Every structure is written in structure tokens, then in C-alpha cells.
Amino acid sequence: MTTTAKYIFVTGGVTSSLGKGIIAASLAKLLQAQGYRVTIQKLDPYINVDPGTLNPYEHGECYVTEDGAETDLDLGHYERFLNVPTSQANNVTTGRIYQSVIQKERRGEFLGKTVQVVPHITDEIKERIQLLGKSGDYDIIITEIGGTVGDIESLPYVEAVRQLRWDLGEDNGIVIHLTLVPYLAAAGELKTKPTQHSVKTLMESGVQADILVCRTEHDLPYDLRRKLALFCNVREEAVIQSIDASTIYDVPNLMLEEGLDKVVLKKLGLQSSTPDITKWNQFLTRHKNPKTEITIGLIGKYVELQDSYKSILEAFIHAGAENEVKVNIESVHSEYLNEDNIQLKLAHLDGVLVAPGFGERGIEGKIDAVRYVRENNVPFFGICLGMQMAVIEFARNVLGLKDADSTEMSPETKNPVIGLMEDQKTITDKGGTMRLGSWDCDLKIGSAVRDIYKAESIKERHRHRYEFNGKYKQQMEAAGLVATGLNPDTGLVEIVEIPSHPWFVGVQYHPEYKSTVANPHPLFVAFVKAALNYKKKKSSVRMAQN
Ligand code: GLN
């Protein structure tokens, strides 16, 4: 077999949530900073064809790529760290693998044969793993295997890795195993046994880890590293500690200190040099040394879990660093917001973002929040459902269309200011049927967004079914809510603004997916700046009053 790309497989042991995605992205960053073309792929062992149909409570945010794939949120980390777009090929699930094998079976591609997990499912997995390598666009592919070794559903993936290492040859495919070294407070000791067991479980499937990355709350002493190397059959230099960090953006530097990139490149038979991460470190310095702080209210219905609005939270980190301000995010549960408590819950905020979402729950609270910020000149940023709520609020309270609504929440409304497009009306399947991926948008001359983007037209990523209803455009514009971003082919309204308001922008797309460390998103940067200005103005008014 001829192959030019090299493969790094990342498996996980002991427990989930150890941060495989961040380790993979950090390693990729260090390799990219030495001139290698790197991409990362995530293999998810669940049966959903994609995470688009999963509730954010279950699996965190669904991340959308340029080509319209609904993917695992780890792809967001890959893009934010590497500043290189990913695609459908970067995320594969068991559902997708089986779907493809079953379709082949129906087409008669295996005619006469019994279709089995080995070799048919494993062959399909191997093919998907090598797709990115064969494109010729990359020197190194990092493939992260979701779940934990020992899980029933991970087995075919581990088996595919075992086979691939033979197919590829020794220095073309290596395995990094991420485990946990827990600290037992009562004994005052770090424990290696779970790692030993996890490496053993991996070996039962015929896969020997080349490198151990050990997640820990305390520094691993030399003796313990030596013990791990001895018992787990790896070199001492290949025992890497991954100590808890205050920010995920510290992890590339921590891995650099531990020499993860060096061990990896040596194992792959590739040259190593000193990675140039000057720009990355400039970002970190700004992030860690803010001159002031602001508080933004994030109005949503998934407020308990960090992962539900992952890309939005990260975009604020990028935009905060750019403005040299610390952005505190205060989650506000839209279900518990109403006209009576709105002042109490929002008055202290420097800006309000109304989040994306689906379904009816919590939407009246979002509409009340928009009314409050519109009337009180508080900077407002509405994303997807948040933009739709701004349109509904304007229709109800400015145009006086009291029953204005989205047909998503109220199919029979007399004033469907947000509604389905004709070609969506006949679709009944839920998976992969939304307006997805990157779409062009022309920006209106003289608009705030044209100034913010410093461009005449942009491309942004979408994930929604419902749209601004063009029939109301003229009426809204006459009253002060202007459509400032339009799709050049369909005329669909992608952005609304209120020019008489200090900062009121609603976007039908998801700008958060495109914010990276190297390229903080201009809308988030401008929104944070507006919130900062608003805060300054508030305090100068207060001082004048005293
Ligand atoms: N539920 C809305 C729609 O489908 C908004 C979706 C979103 O916020 N991503 O149009």
C-alpha cells in the first residue's frame, strides 16, 4: 500500500470527558506550527447518523461545517485551534458507517457474501479514516476515537486501528492513549492502576499504546512515570502528563513542555523543529491580562451545561482577548424570564445575546428580553432563533401585530413574520434537512454590519428551517428594523439591524462557528466593544448623577 500521510490514533481510557479533543487539537497545533499540514477526524461510536438529531443536553452543541455537515463539537475545537476548515469527512459515526454498508449490501456490492462486522464494518471504518489522507491535502491525520476503550460500541473502531497499523506499516500509524491518573486525597497518593488496566484492555484488542497522555490534578513524579512506562510497555519519554489547566488554550504550551510533539514526530519518523506559536502566545497574553471586564447575558434554555453553547462561549473568549477585556457570561434561563422580573435580571448587564434554539420552550422570555434591550438601548446580539425573536418582538410591540409569531411555535398565526420556505414545507424527515452550511450574504451599503465586516459580501454557516417572511420586510423597514444582509440568489433576509439603536444586530446564521484564535469573529469583536462602550457610558452617567 502506498501512503504519504501519517496517522495518529487517539483513544481514551478510564473515563470519558478527559479532553481527547483538546489534546488532539493541541498536538495538531504544535505539528502545524512546525510546518506540517494537519487535520483531525472524530469517530463517534453512536448509531445516530450525525449529532444533528441529538439534544444539546445529551451531547453538547452540534457544530456545523462549511459543507453543511452537522458534527461533533470537537470539530469546533479543531477549527478554533488550527484555523483550517473541517468537513463531513472529519466526523464519522457508527450510524453513518452502517448506513453506507447496508446501502452497499442492497446494491449487491457484496453479492454472495455474509456481511459482517469484520471485515465489512471495519473495512468501511478504515476507508473513512484514510479518506482525508488520500486527498493529498495533509501530511498528518489525527483520528480521535470517541468513547472509552472497553465499551462494546468502540470495539470495531479499535479493531480497525489494529488492522490499519499493519496495513500502514510501523512508523505510519501510532496510538496515543489518554487516561486518568486519579489522586486519592485520603491516601494522599496518585494512582496508576486505572491506567494499567486501561492499557491492558486496549492490548486485549491487539493494540499497544505508543504514547500515554495522563490527565492529572497533580504533577506526576519521576518514579510514577517510570512505573507507568514499565507496566504499560511504553518508553519513559512517552509518558506525558496533562495537568488541569485554567484554560484549554494553555494546553498546546503544556504539551510542548512535556515534549508530546517531539515523541510523536520521532515515532512517525518525521523531522521536528521548534514550533512557532508566537501568535498563539500573543492571544494568550491578551486573554490573561484583560484591562477591564464586562458582563454579557446569554439568554437561552440550555443554561446548565457549558457544552450547549460551546462555540458562542469560545467566540467571546477570542473577542474578549481582541478587545483586552474579560467577558463574563451570565446565563439567563429564558423560561424563568418575564415582564415582572426582566429589570431585575437584565439591568446590570452590559450586553445581551439571545441564543439559537428549537421549539417553543422559553421563547416568550426571549421576546421579553429583546423588548427590554431594544427599549433601553442595551447592546443586543441575536443569533438564529435569537434573530427570529427580535423580528417577532418588533412586529408585536412596534408594528402592533399582537399575534405575530414564527410558524414553528404557532403554525396558525395570522402574522407569520417567521415562516417556512416553500421547499421546506414538504419535508418530513428531521435529520439533515435544514438549511445547512455556508451561504453567501450581501451587506447593505451604509449598514453597521458592512462596516464591522469591512466587506461587501460574506459567507456564513446556517442551521435552521424557518426564515424571515419577506412579506413583512417593507413594513418593518419603514418602522426602523432594517434588513441589512440578503442572500444574493434568493433574497432571504440574513441580517436585521435597528440603525437608531446603539448596537442591535440579529443574524439568521451562526457566526460563532467561524470564530478562531487566529481570526476572532468581527461581529463578536464589535459586540464586545459595544458592550464596553455601553458600560463606560452607564458609569459616566452614574458619576454625573452623584
Ligand atoms: N428553530 C429555528 C429554526 O429552525 C432556529 C434554529 C436555530 O436557532 N439554530 O429556524
pLDDT digits (tens, 9 = 90+) for 272-282: 999 999 999 99
2 pLDDT higher than 60: no
286 burial type by CB count under 10 A (0-12 exposed, 13-18 middle, 19+ buried):
middle
Beta bridge partners of 459: 440
| 3 CA from centroid of ligand 1 (Å) | 42
Active site residue 512: yes
Active site residue 422: no
pLDDT band at 425 (very low <50, low <70, confident <90, very high): confident
443 pLDDT higher than 80: yes
Q: Which amino acid is located at 26 in the chain?
A: S
pLDDT band at 63 (very low <50, low <70, confident <90, very high): very high
Residue with cell 498536538: 27
464 lines ligand 1 (CB under 6 A): yes
Number of the ligand 1 atom closest to the C-alpha atom of 359: 1
**CA atoms of 103 and 490, how far apart (whole Å):** 34
pLDDT band at 431 (very low <50, low <70, confident <90, very high): confident
Q: Residue 304: what pLDDT?
A: 64
C-alpha closest to that of 8 among 16, 17, 30: 30
Is 163 in contact with 126 (CB distance < 8 Å)?
A: yes
Q: Which of 55, 334, 360, 384 has most ligand 1 atoms within 8 Å of its beta carbon, as the pocket-test mutant? A: 384
3-class DSSP state of 189:
strand
Q: Residue 51: what pLDDT?
A: 85
Active site residue 384: yes
C-alpha closest to that of 365 among 385, 395, 351: 385
3-class DSSP state of 541:
helix
253 pLDDT higher than 90: yes
pLDDT digits (tens, 9 = 90+) for 483-505: 999 999 999 999 999 999 999 99
Is 438 in contact with 460 (CB distance < 8 Å)?
A: yes
Is 133 in contact with 141 (CB distance < 8 Å)?
A: yes
pTM of the complete model beyond 0.85: yes
Mean pLDDT of 45-71: 88
358 lines ligand 1 (CB under 6 A): yes
pLDDT band at 1 (very low <50, low <70, confident <90, very high): very low
Question: Pick the catalytic residue: 384, 460, 467, 494?
Answer: 384
Q: Say how far residue 27 (Cα) sits from the centre of its chain.
A: 18
Beta bridge partners of 299: 332, 354
